[in-house]
Amino acid sequence: MAEMATVINNGDEEPPSQATEENAGLLSVDEYPSAAESTAGETADHGGDESSKAGLPSHTAEENDGLLPLDEYPSATESTAGETVDNGGDESYKAAQLPHDNDESDVVLSADKEPIIVETTVETAETPCNGAPSLIVPPPQATEGSNGMLSVDEDPAAAEAAERNHEAEIFAGFSLQSNGIRFRAPTRGKTVQVFEERFNTQLVLEEVQESDNDGKSGMTLRETVQVSPGLTVLRSIYSVMAVFMGGFLFILGFDILLFLFIHLVSVFNENQGIGIADFVASFFSVPVFVYSLAFAMTLVTSFVLDTFYGNPFIRSFGLGVVFTEWMAFVFYLGVPLLTFIATLFMGKPNFWEISLLTWFVSVLTFWCIFSACVFYFEVTQCLKLERDRHEEKDAIGQMGWLEKTRYWLGKAKDATKRTMRIRLSGKETKYKKQKGEETPEYDDRHNSCPVGLFSLLTMKLPCYKQFDGEEQKKKIRTLGEVLGFTSYITRYSWSLDKLFCRTGGNTSSIFVTSGEARVSERQIQSSIACRIIGNLLICLLVIGLFVWLSGTGMNNGLSNTGKVLLGLLFLAVVVYIAINTKYLKEIFKDTSDQSGATWTRFWETRRINEPSVTFIWFCVVAQILVFYLWPLISLCLQGNTPSAILFFVFGFFSFTRHYLNGALLLRAYKYDFFEVIPYSADGVSDEEKARRRRRWKKKSRMYDMLSIGDTSRQFWIVVFCVLVIFFLFVVLAYAGTQEFDGWKSNTTTPVEGYEYTRNPNLPYPTCALRVKESDFVDGDIADYAFIANLAYTNPAEEQASLDSWFGDGVVIVNDTLVKEFREEFSSVDFGLASDSPVSYKLTQLVNTNFVMITIRGTATVLDVMADAQLWISALLFQSVREFLPLGNVFTPILHHLVKVVSMVETKNTAKVAYYQETREFALYLMKKGYDVRVTGHSLGGGLALITGAQAKVSAIGFSAPNAKLSRQTFVGKFDQPLPVSVYDLNTYTFNVVPNRDPFPMIDDKADLYQNINCTASANDIVGCHSIERSICELQYKCGSKSGLTNSYRPVPCECVLEFGYPSPKPKNGTDTDSTFEDKCRAKYPCKWGNATQKENEGC
């Protein structure tokens, strides 16, 4: 939106004097109120020249005896903004605007000798030309005996108007929800007009009798609220369900983009490279998805607001008020409530789940109807604008259906051509400043680079027609200018938070700097100070957050690079503050200007050239081929069928809205579309009045469609663009790191001879997890944690690590079984990629059939993609549930919605599902007679839980994402559904959950889990996710001595030297000459030794 700031003189002038005996009831030019006063209740600066009053002729009193000739009387069709008021050719009405910026009484022209006093008793944020009611006053007519002069006494029409001076008509602007209802209140005997607002309120205009207001007549404006507590609660419930439905659509859009990029990664992994044509084609589908998803979320935002305010926008669709209300009742309450009652009578145990799912589907259907109507009216309105441009409305009625089809296709072609001419034109944006009625001047301080790179390119192309002179350049109004969005800031409406948080920048408001209601210098100074202080505090908050997250302080926790980046951030904020406060400083200067002038500042965009028709159609064809047909065919050939179907549907709506854009046509061509419609003027037939009312409703609907979502659409586009950038970064990162080389050495550094004794009070009840006699030697939970950590260990050090923990030769690494399985079964046999990146190991208790599969956690970029593929939907639905009030009521249906969202997953995406291979490996071992356990940490723990539930073997996860909400998304061989039940999760899975670890908070937990303490500092977000820290916590609370045998486990040095646990006690017979810390430094000098020890060891 182009930004405009206007400073208005709100000074008061004396009201026009009444007709005297000297002029025989004639209205003198000298006493005629100025146009600015009669329309806005505010005085313009004319520099003492009475002939310059807007809408008045320049004749003097000497030329016509001080009387106003009829032929120079200002036309009722001229509004104060210079736009024509459509009144059907009836010149008997003059439009004047109701003042609403302050609580002062202003004088408005009346046809009588007495002025009408309009008492504004309520503020409104609507605009003066479209957002506020217009006061229509019939000017008197001249008679034959007046010699062209205006006589109130002689003109019958004027006399009649004078008798009806209490019945001045008020017409609603298009921002209101109705065009007004006029009646005579039986209880008070006064004329009342009622206008509906979208915020469940009404504007009531009631006449003021002469006896009620010191002999003066006029109208009083009141605002009445139509909201009861019960209505608020009911609509809030409706809105919560609408927000939940919107959350579902956002998650669907998120997953569409995610799975699109995962698809590229999976194809890259399978083919060891992806064709550049396929990659580019898939990537070209992203803009269409982003544009479509942003539009869908914009409609969701409007739908939620419309739901809360009682569906005023849906009422404007022309379906009828009664039908619309019943339709809303059926979808929001009727169908869900009937389902709820029916399930109760049927005795369904899951009655709430069924009812809630029905309610969700019902609201989603209502939103689809809402969106279809908006799309239909947007497109048809664009076509009608083209029709009205050629004034061909009457001719259409004589056409047959085939001729009409051809006609409208022709209009679509014309609209596409004009829309693309605007989009492809070169543009310049310049900052202007205007004082009063003077010619606007460019402010070169803000116009250093008015033309962008694309516009510079168009200036060099031969297929563009250049506009040489300034008068040839064509202005493009902003949507706000077309709709009349304006914000007025007076002494009474000013506030610090309002100015700091408002949208549209520093120049989007009109500051009143003259008159009684003017903004004071202290208020402007406070705004400047608030802008500076607020932005500095935000910057310091961000810097402080980074410092806090990086460690214990600026010197200890933040690297030099981080300090430089934060310094640059602070410098950027300072520059931003300087740029944004200079506008307020200029306004501050205007407050000292006592000339009474109106200051206006605005950004103006103009077209500096336009393309040829041939070039326009070339661009249209190229866009459809490159951004629609090519990606669509590529997605189909790649087997990405779900994305191809969605892309086909989204692309159709996106390209239709892109080419048939009524808002763009209004901005560039038809400025006066939203002019006032005086539908009830005297002398107009009832049929014509009805026609004008229909026109008002259609324009009001168009007004709402254009005004909804302008800000929210930009917000959602930014959100989805950020997601695309992140996903693209992950894909590029994976392309550069295909092999995993992150094996750890000395993942733990155990030292023997020391022990932690079991907590004498209440240790963890799950310290021993021995279920069967064939379990591990002792079955302590710390043993499972150690085996889970083994998945990250360098293969060359695996056996040594096991021997140091369990003893020599007690537990071994069995690579033979893993190799046999992979030789016998290829990953392709399970529907996986030919070279599956999943990493797992097998350990075996010697001389037993007890084996444990340990799965590695997240270690590569592809692992991150696998995490997202499995759990991102559940995480997002959890976030929606936490955001909504009483969000837990939606829990019974979340697993169904996660399943629906996962349907956009492609077969190639399913090939990244690691758990398929680990599940088949567990089943393979069970067939050979082995007693199988599965464990893992992080991603490995989550895969272990899924594997255990599918293969029905015991699985122990550490810091693992859960699987309760995602349970229906899991598949078997070749993408065949293989969901798990809640019973399987509650029976076969167990999760160890450290406090403040974010990863095991993903998805809902099954019944079996153990919370453990975490000693990491609060600003160490991922510190609690460490498997080594979990091992130390379990040893410290459960003891390092087995609960079933007298064997001891060594204590890792990390417990004391890294995680801050107390030093363990020496076991009986252990040399106590040196401390535990000294033993650690001596045994592992390269990791824990001092500088001298590391130098001696050659570390």
SS (H, E, C) 914-965: CHHHHHHHHHHHHHCCCEEEEEEECHHHHHHHHHHHHHCCEEEEECCCCCCC
Triad 148, 151, 157: Cα angle to 5° = 100
Query: Is residue 862 predicted with pLDDT exceeding 50?
Result: yes
Q: Which residues contact 292 (CB under 8 A, 6 or more apart)?
A: 650, 651, 653, 654
Structure letter (DSSP) for residue 745: S
DSSP assignment letter at 69? B
Q: With bands split at pLDDT 50, 70 and 90, how would you rate the model's confidence at 1032?
A: very high
Confidence category of residue 902, pLDDT binned at 50, 70, 90: confident
Q: Are 225 and 203 in contact (CB under 8 A)?
A: no
Model pLDDT, residue 244 = 95
Which range has highest mean pLDDT (192-196, 390-394, 619-623)?
Answer: 619-623
Say what the pLDDT of residue 345 is.
Answer: 95
Contact between 511 and 5 (Cβ < 8 Å)? yes
Q: What is the dihedral of CA 64, 70, 73, 75, to 10 degrees?
A: -170
Token pair of 234, please? Answer: 């009911």
pLDDT at 1073: 74
Residue 3, pLDDT score: 40
pLDDT over 70 percentage in the chain: 68
Supply 775's token pair. Answer: 């379990």
Tell me whether residue 921 is exposed, middle or buried, using C-beta atoms within 10 angstroms of its C-beta: 0 to 12, 13 to 18, 19 or more. buried
Predicted confidence band at 771 (pLDDT cuts at 50, 70, 90)? low
Residues 388-442 pLDDT 10s? 877 766 677 777 888 888 989 999 999 999 999 999 999 888 877 766 666 777 6
Give the residues across from 978 on adjacent strands.
none
223-227, 555-559, 1041-1045 — which is least confidently predicted? Answer: 555-559
Strand pairing category for 509-515 and 217-225: unpaired
C-alpha span between 202 and 39 (Å, rounded): 23
Other C-beta atoms closer than 10 Å to the C-beta of 500 total 13
Contact 967, 979 (CB under 8 A): yes
The pLDDT tens digits for 150-186 are 333 444 444 444 444 444 455 667 777 666 666 666 6
Cα separation of 922 and 911, whole Å?
18
| 197 contacts 176 by C-beta, under 8 angstroms | yes
The mean pLDDT value for 972-994 works out to: 85
**Regarding beta strands 190-196 and 217-225, do their DSSP bridges make them parallel or antiparallel, or are they unpaired?**
unpaired
Which regions of 355-426 does DSSP assign to beta strands (E)?
none
| Higher-pLDDT residue of 481, 723 | 723
- Nearest CA-CA partner of 721 in 254, 281, 301, 246: 254
Q: Which residues, including other chains, have CB under 8 Å from residue 193's CB and lie 6 or more apart?
A: 170, 180, 181, 182, 204, 205
Question: What span, in angstroms and rounded, lies between the C-alpha atoms of 1043 and 511?
Answer: 78
The dihedral sign for the CA sequence 443, 449, 454, 458: positive
Work out whether the CA dihedral 184, 188, 190, 194 comes out positive or negative: negative
- pLDDT band at residue 30, thresholds of 50, 70 and 90? very low
Give me the sign of the Cα torsion angle 643, 644, 649, 653: positive
Number of helices and strands in the chain (H, E): 37, 29
Phi-psi region of 937 (alpha: psi -120 to 50; beta: other; left: phi over 0): beta
Q: Mean per-residue pLDDT for 270-295?
A: 77
Q: Is the pLDDT of residue 29 over 50?
A: no
State the pLDDT at residue 513: 64
- State yes or no: pLDDT of 915 exceeds 90: no
Pairwise pLDDT comparison (574 vs 65), residue with the higher score: 574
Confidence (pLDDT) at 79: 35
Give the CA distances from residue 454 to residues 87, 450, 459, 996, in Å, rounded to whole numbers and listed in that order. 43, 12, 9, 50
What pLDDT score does 58 carry? 38
CA 917/CA 856 separation, integer angstroms: 13
pLDDT at 55: 37
In the prediction, which pLDDT does 611 show? 94
R_g of the chain computed on alpha carbons = 38
| Entry field: residues in the chain | 1099
- Mean local confidence (pLDDT), 861-865: 76
Half-sphere exposure of residue 16: CA atoms within 13 angstroms, side-chain side: 28
Would residue 47 be called left, alpha or beta, if left means φ above 0 and alpha means ψ between -120 and 50 degrees?
Answer: left
List % helix, strand, coil for the chain (3-state, nearest 5). 50, 15, 35
Res 273 pLDDT > 60: no
Tens digit of each residue's pLDDT (9 = 90 or more) over 784-828: 999 999 998 888 888 999 998 888 888 999 999 998 888 887 655
CA dihedral 942, 947, 950, 956 (to 10 degrees): -70
* Mean local confidence (pLDDT), 613-620: 95
Q: Rounded to whole angstroms, how far apart are CA atoms 219 and 168?
A: 9
Which position has the higher pLDDT, 938 or 187?
Answer: 938
Which amino acid is it at 1089?
G
Q: What is the mean pLDDT of the chain?
A: 75
3-state DSSP call for residue 513? strand
Residue 876's pLDDT band (cuts 50, 70, 90): very high
Query: Strands 750-751 and 464-466: what pairing?
Result: unpaired
Q: What is the pLDDT of residue 1070?
A: 63
Q: Looking at per-residue confidence, does 472 or 157 come out higher?
A: 472
- 551 near 1019, Cβ under 8 Å? yes
Q: Which residues contact residue 310 at a Cβ distance below 8 angstroms, ignoring those fewer than 6 apart?
A: 200, 235
d(CA 803, CA 793): 14
Instruction: Report how far residue 1050's alpha carbon sits from residue 753's, in angstroms, rounded to the nearest whole number.
Output: 7
Taking each helix axis from N to C end, the angle separating 641-659 and 351-389, rounded to the nearest 10 degrees, works out to: 40
Q: Please give the model's pTM, rounded to 2 decimal places.
A: 0.78
Distance between CA atoms of 371 and 356, rounded to whole angstroms?
Answer: 22
1029/965 Cα distance (integer angstroms): 28
Alpha-carbon distance of 495 to 509, in angstroms, equals: 13
DSSP state of 858: S
Is residue 76 pLDDT above 60, yes or no? no
Quote the pLDDT of residue 120.
Answer: 34
Amino acid, res. 918: T
Instruction: Give SS3 for 1068.
Output: coil
Q: Which of 153, 668, 217 is nearest to 415 (CA)?
A: 668
What's 1010's DSSP letter? Answer: E
Helix (H) / strand (E) containing 537? helix 521-550
| Contacts (Cβ under 8 Å, ≥6 apart) of 137 | 93, 94, 96, 108, 109, 110, 111, 116, 168
Task: Provide the pLDDT for residue 284.
Answer: 87
| Amino acid 490: pLDDT | 79
pLDDT in tens, 998-1023: 999 999 999 999 999 999 988 888 88
pLDDT digits over 728-745, tens only?
877 776 655 545 555 666
**DSSP per-residue codes, 426-457:** -EEEEEEEEETTSPPEE-GGG-S--B-HHHHH
pLDDT of residue 1090: 83
Contact at 8 Å (CB) between 681 and 88? yes
Residue type, 1033: E
